[in-house]
Chains A and B, each alone.
Chain A
Amino acid sequence: MANVPEDLHYSKDHEWLRVDGDEAIIGITDYAQNSLGDVVYVELPKAGEEFSGSESFGSVESVKAVSEVFTPVSGLVTKINESLADEPEKVNTDPYGEGWMVRLRMSNPGEVDSLLSAAEYEDFTKAESE
């Protein structure tokens, strides 16, 4: 069973978002890393780039497949997880911790309200895997 922490917000593209003041930390969910398999490569944007909600900001690659990752909310990248360049497997081993991907300064924090709660995301993944 995939791990879905209570205190995070989720997108239907399988990203999670943690609110930290006016910033948001973003990564992919346990469910997503599990369906992707061993992550061997992560491509991230540069600090300073701006994204609107549901825009592709990079990609995660397993041996077999490439998946795009999307910003759940709009904002400006303040920091990226540079350690993923050498240790992409952190996305598998610790998707909600050391496997985080980007930090955004949210341009419209209200967008967080439209994301899924942990319970809603759990139902969503159940429906998707059926």
Chain B
Amino acid sequence: MVDFGGWDMPVQYPAGTIEEHLRTRTHAGLFDVSHMGEIDVRGSDAFAFVNRLTSNDVTKLVDGQAQYSALTTPAGTVIDDLLVYRLSADHLLLVVNAGTSDKDWEWIKSHHSSESVELRNASADYCQLALQGPDAESILQPLTDVPLSEIKYYHFRPGTVDGVSGIVSRTGYTGEDGFEVYAPADRAEQLWNKILDAGNTSAHTGVLPCGLSARNTLRLEAGMALYGHEIDETTTLLEANLGWICKLDKGDFIGREALAQQKEAGIKRRLVGFEVTERGIARDEQVVLVGDEKVGKVTSGSPAPFLKKNIGMAYVPIEHASVGQEIRIDVRGRLVGAQIVKTPFYKRNK
């Protein structure tokens, strides 16, 4: 167990990271992600309020739809990345990272001025379980009254799971199809056990409980950013390849001007994916070189259990950011060859 944003979290369960990772890719894995924070925003000005704080366009959402977005600083850097759920025309739910949820809450509160916006830190109310993998739908369907096949990617429905009222959302952080279930915190154990049981009948090849380590390797293979690694308050959304969540034409939002200027001037560095081409494993924080020149740092580096390669992400100057560029990583004093490749490293067959 490790401390993760103030939560005691398992790094891995007895099966181990590799088995957990592979099972999620081939069948299903269950993740307890109750540490994620939830902030409830209600009222007639709720949309305008959230649209000013986040970079994506909340007005594009319909009821039952979610969107990936970011809370941005005036400089266009990232306070946190988050999911915005549209519950109704005057009600949004923001799902934020555990380690940043207090900071996010303070930031959001500090911009609160309208009486027509009601804010509530609902983090303690919810548990969140993520069932991910190609078997997720068939395992979850018998437990819920929500017709899962009707839920599209990044959509959700209110409903019950094992009789417990909550939200079932077709989202995740693994690169697989799957669902995230939000329910009252005191029902976490019931739902956890029920889903594990349902995934371990004769009809299914054993859903495995998965820890933080598999969550990290799965998201890395899928090329997804992790707050505190690929993105933070020193990296802009454009540098992090998140231009697709910067809706510069939606009207004003915090950071818009800086991002528009950076887009105009062109970014100087960019987040890239790389594959290690020699023996060795790149790790977070290691220095990246082109020739003998230090040009950047690894943001995440790890073995990729499904791809059976050693991969990572790093920021490098834009002139060295092309696919095919040869780089070297300083692995504890030994220079190990690597090559910039396209991300995501892994893409599931649909």
A61 to B302, CA, bound (A): 10
Q: Is A117 located at the chain interface by the 8 A CB criterion?
A: no
Question: Would you call A40 an interface residue if the criterion is a C-beta within 8 Å of the partner chain's C-beta atoms?
Answer: yes
* B334 vs chain A, min Cβ distance (A): 8
* Distance (whole angstroms) from the CB of A16 to the closest CB of chain B: 22
Q: Are the C-beta atoms of B279 and A63 separated by less than 8 Å?
A: no
Chain A, interface residues (CB within 8 Å), range: 10 to 19
Q: Which of A37, A38, A40 meets B281, CB within 8 Å?
A: A40
Residues of chain B within 8 A (CB-CB) of A85 are: 279
The majority secondary structure among interface residues of chain A is: strand
CB distance from B304 to the nearest CB of A (A): 9
The stretch of B12-20, B32-40, B73-81, B88-96 that contacts the partner chain: B12-20
Bits for B199-213, please: 1 = Cβ < 8 Å to A, else 0: 000000000000001
Q: How far is B299's CA from A57's CA once the two chains are assembled, in angstroms?
A: 27
Q: Is A126 an interface residue (CB 8 A)?
A: no
Chain B residues engaging chain A, CB cutoff 8 angstroms: 11-12, 16-19, 21, 213, 216-217, 279-281, 283, 302-303, 305, 332
**Contact between B17 and A63, CB atoms less than 8 A apart:** yes
- Cβ distance B39 to chain A, nearest Cβ, rounded Å: 30
Distance, CA A72 to CA B217, complexed state (A): 34
A63 and B18 form a contact (CB under 8 A): yes
Does the CB pair A38–B17 fall under 8 Å?
A: yes
Give the residue name and chain of the A residue nearest to B302 (CB). Answer: A63
The reply to whether A38 and B11 contact each other, CB–CB distance below 8 Å, is no
Residues of A within 8 A of B305 (CB): 63
**Which B residues lie within 8 Å of A66 (CB)?**
281, 283, 332
* Whole-angstrom distance between the Cβ of A39 and the nearest chain B Cβ: 10
In the assembled complex, how far is the CB of residue A34 from the closest CB belonging to chain B, in whole angstroms? 10
Inter-subunit contact B303/A63 (CB<8 Å): yes
Q: Which residues of B contact A62 (CB under 8 A)?
A: 17
If A63-B217, A64-B11, A85-B279 touch, whether A40 touches B16 (CB-CB below 8 Å) is: no
B281 touches A61 (CB 8 A): yes
| Sampled A-B contacts (26; CB under 8 Å) | A37-B12, A37-B16, A37-B17, A37-B213, A38-B18, A38-B19, A40-B18, A40-B281, A40-B303, A41-B279, A41-B280, A41-B303, A59-B332, A61-B281, A61-B303, A62-B17, A63-B17, A63-B18, A63-B213, A63-B217, A63-B303, A64-B12, A64-B17, A64-B216, A66-B281, A66-B332
